[in-house]
Amino acid sequence: MRFTRAMTSAVLMVSVTAWVVAEQPIVNPKAATPPVAKKVPKTDSVHGDVRVDNYFWLREKTNPDVTAYLEAENTYTAAAMKGTEPFQDALYKEILSHIKETDLSVPFRLRGYWYYYRTEQGKQYRIHCRKKAVAGEIRPASETPEEILLDLNRLAEGQKFMGLGAFTVSDDGNLLAYSTDFTGFRQYTLHVKDLRTGALRPDTQEKVVSVRWAADNKTLFYTIEDAAKRPYQLYRHELSSQQPDALVYEEKDELYRIWLDRSRDQKYLFLNSASSETTEVRYVPSDTPGAELRVILPRVNDHEYYVEHHGDRFYILTNDGAKDFRAVWAPADDPRKENWKELLPAREGIRIEGLDMFAHHGVTYEREGGLPKIRIIDLRTGEEHLIEFQDAAYSVFLDANPEFDTTTVRLQYQSMITPSTLYDYDMEKRTRVLMKQTEVPGGFDSANYVAERIFAKAPDGTAIPISIAYRKGLKKDGTAPLHLQGYGSYGFAIPVTFSPAELCLLDRGVISASAHIRGGGEMGEKWHDDGKMMSKKNTFTDFIAVAEYLVNEQYTSKDRLVIEGGSAGGLLMGAVTNMRPDLFHAVVTHVPFVDVLNTMLDASLPLTVGEYLEWGNPNNKSEYDYMKTYCPYTNLAAKDYPAILVTTSLNDSQVMYWEPAKYVAKLRTLKTDQNPLLLKTNMAAGHGGASGRYDYYKDRGFEFTFILAEMGITR
């Protein structure tokens, strides 16, 4: 993050008070005149409500005036941040000092090969590789020749963006199907590489989303997207065939998206159709790809289910009669509900989020009390146990586990102060082996930090979890700066993860915190329900309650509190800033979904129709009226606002660039303060920002410079 480099990062780690308070802020909004977007009034009337949008014209991506405006904002942002450039550079170097630039992933074994990726110093992207496996090996032998499957750095030559989508090898190991995006719009082109010769085959396809091989090593199934980027058609492609690809299925309901999967035992291909509340699964044996798709269970509103295969059974994760899901099995030749048998019943306070099947064990990914759990079920005896984790707040995920006939499951564990750690867990012996902990150079020692899980009380009395980390020696006297993040949408639980980049904050005495607010999935499905649709404002009042709690308990003060969120978390930032601009000193918001009403009224945009069940459908008056009460763009007003940094990307396919651009343009005409309002647009990226790791770290250094400068920390 920001640090004018006379000291080393090791020196910074000596004391929690190593930060310095600046007499004057080093972000200078008066360094240049901010651009003023022209006003072209567009009047809309919905349900008798008349709205005038002066900046609708910014949607015209090919209009030279739009490009000129975005570039003018970039120029202004650069001028305002000019005085911080040495700090930005120092922080970038400091971030790199905590990254092992040349590194190797832990290989996983699949059908006679060890697969892994590696990174090399100075190179932006991963290099995907494999080695031949030898019977009995625990790891690949160093003398075994390496085969480079895909060097993303070579693919990225001459490109401003490089995104890898699909990456799947045929069962015989001879062919690699992969997809690439060179714009950031997440529109991928499918390629097939012959790994025996290194040559690309002529088999290509545009707008591909998910890809899976059949067992015959010559048939590819793939889904493609429509104009609104909804995956809706499934095709079957046979290599070397002169016949057109067969359209196998088309999802006509615009609420539904489709994706492909394949069972771990490789016996079946699954086609999942899903809205945000209902699913339907079709299947075909992978060794007879020309067979007709069959339906496991026809769709029924509000029934979600997900399927795996094992032996002569389908294992099904279902919310039928269980809001937070239960696990059942049924005969593969007749999976109707009347044939279901219980594997794992619904339990109060426990949400089952995933079910994986191995030769002798089932593994569930669960969440209880907001924390993730891994449960192991012996399919032979029915005996089950939980893998224990001790930290107050943490994340654990199932890592790469492609092998079916194994008693070992690979887990990735981390916390805010524990780097990503890979374990191989023996499901029979109940023992774990450390495979790798990500190395953090630069003198990092987790013993110098503290992680906690605390709770704030929402206005309705609900306890809201907060994950928090800081350097030892913190004095809770209200003087510490605090960086608070939030999201709270789609039932997504914010993972409690380690970021080597954020050491630049922690080592300057900044407290790092995440608010696990409603709308997310931390505390089960009800937690999501209570923060969506006509209850969406709970998300915002929860976040405000968390911020107030942290101030009242003297973790920080209003003038040292900086908040950050992206995408739907950017909606959160916009809403709480409108509601309580006095509570936050500064705001950083990435690709923010801030123009809720206009976007949700435009069914042609990506995601809109499918998200009626998350935000509501504004074509219904009651839902329109409710959205209007919190839409950040609609509710901008003439008043003082915090310092605000907004980032976006020109080729974003999920939150179009014009939402943040309109937001900044309108706010400039209304705000009554002299605080910085900056818009930075990446003109060659998408929703996730820069694709190269070094470009990402530079962007993060820029953002941390803004955050620290607004906290009064200048080195």
Per residue in 431-450, pLDDT (tens digit) is 999 999 999 999 999 999 99
503 is a domain residue: yes
Does one domain contain both 79 and 107? no
Give the amino acid at 111: R
pLDDT band at 15 (very low <50, low <70, confident <90, very high): very low
Sequence-ordered strand ranges (E) for 388-543: 395-398, 408-415, 418-426, 431-437, 449-457, 463-471, 482-486, 511-515
pLDDT band at 8 (very low <50, low <70, confident <90, very high): very low
Question: Does residue 191 have an active-site annotation?
Answer: no
Does one domain contain both 121 and 165? yes
Residue showing tokens 């922690």: 506
Q: What is the DSSP letter of 689?
A: B
> Which strands make up the sheet holding 408-415, listed edge to edge?
395-398, 408-415, 418-426, 431-437
- Residue positions counted in the chain: 715
pLDDT at 21 over 60: no
Separation of alpha carbons 549 and 555, rounded Å: 9
User: Choosing from 9, 286, 395, 567, which is the catalytic residue?
Assistant: 567
Separation of alpha carbons 606 and 602, rounded Å: 9
pLDDT, position 138: 79
pLDDT, position 141: 84
pLDDT at 12 over 70: no
Residues forming beta bridges with residue 565, ordered by sequence position? 589
Give the amino acid at 294: R
Residues forming beta bridges with residue 437, ordered by sequence position? 421
| 172, two tokens | 């015989």
User: For the domain that residue 87 is a member of, what is the CATH number?
Assistant: 3.40.50.1820
> Which strands make up the sheet holding 188-194, listed edge to edge?
163-169, 175-181, 188-194, 205-213, 219-225, 231-238, 246-250
611 is a domain residue: no
Per residue in 395-429, pLDDT (tens digit) is 999 999 999 999 999 999 999 999 999 999 999 99
Per residue in 157-210, pLDDT (tens digit) is 999 999 999 999 999 999 999 999 999 999 999 999 999 999 999 999 999 999
369 is a domain residue: yes
CA–centroid distance for 691 within its chain? 14
pLDDT at 142 over 90: no
Tell which residue, 608, 591, 562, 566, has the closest CA to residue 664.
591
User: Choosing from 98, 361, 516, 687, which is the catalytic residue?
Assistant: 687
Does one domain contain both 227 and 335? yes
pLDDT at 212 over 70: yes
Tell which residue, 253, 263, 257, has the closest CA to residue 230.
257
Q: What's the structural domain count of the chain?
A: 2
Does one domain contain both 422 and 507? no
Q: What is the mean pLDDT of residues 312-335?
A: 97
Does one domain contain both 74 and 121? no
Per residue in 32-57, pLDDT (tens digit) is 999 999 999 999 999 999 999 999 99
pLDDT, position 10: 27
Per residue in 78-105, pLDDT (tens digit) is 999 999 999 999 999 999 999 999 999 9
pLDDT band at 569 (very low <50, low <70, confident <90, very high): very high
Does one domain contain both 85 and 112? no
pLDDT at 13 over 90: no
**Left (φ > 0), alpha (ψ -120 to 50) or beta: where does 483 sit?**
beta
User: Choosing from 181, 424, 507, 652, which is the catalytic residue?
Assistant: 652
Q: What is the mean pLDDT of the chain?
A: 94
Residue showing tokens 């992207």: 125
Give the amino acid at 372: P
pLDDT band at 16 (very low <50, low <70, confident <90, very high): very low
Does one domain contain both 264 and 400? yes
pLDDT, position 62: 97
pLDDT at 136 over 90: no
pLDDT band at 22 (very low <50, low <70, confident <90, very high): very low
pLDDT, position 5: 21
pLDDT, position 1: 23
Separation of alpha carbons 95 and 101, rounded Å: 11
576 is a domain residue: yes
Long-range contacts of 324-328, Cβ-Cβ distance < 8 Å, separation of 24 or more: 324/350, 324/351, 324/352, 324/524, 324/525, 325/351, 325/352, 325/353, 326/352, 327/352, 327/355, 327/362, 327/364
Per residue in 376-391, pLDDT (tens digit) is 999 999 999 999 898 8
User: For the domain that residue 255 is a member of, what is the CATH number?
Assistant: 2.130.10.120
Question: Does residue 652 have an active-site annotation?
Answer: yes
pLDDT at 63 over 80: yes
Question: Does residue 687 have an active-site annotation?
Answer: yes
450 is a domain residue: no
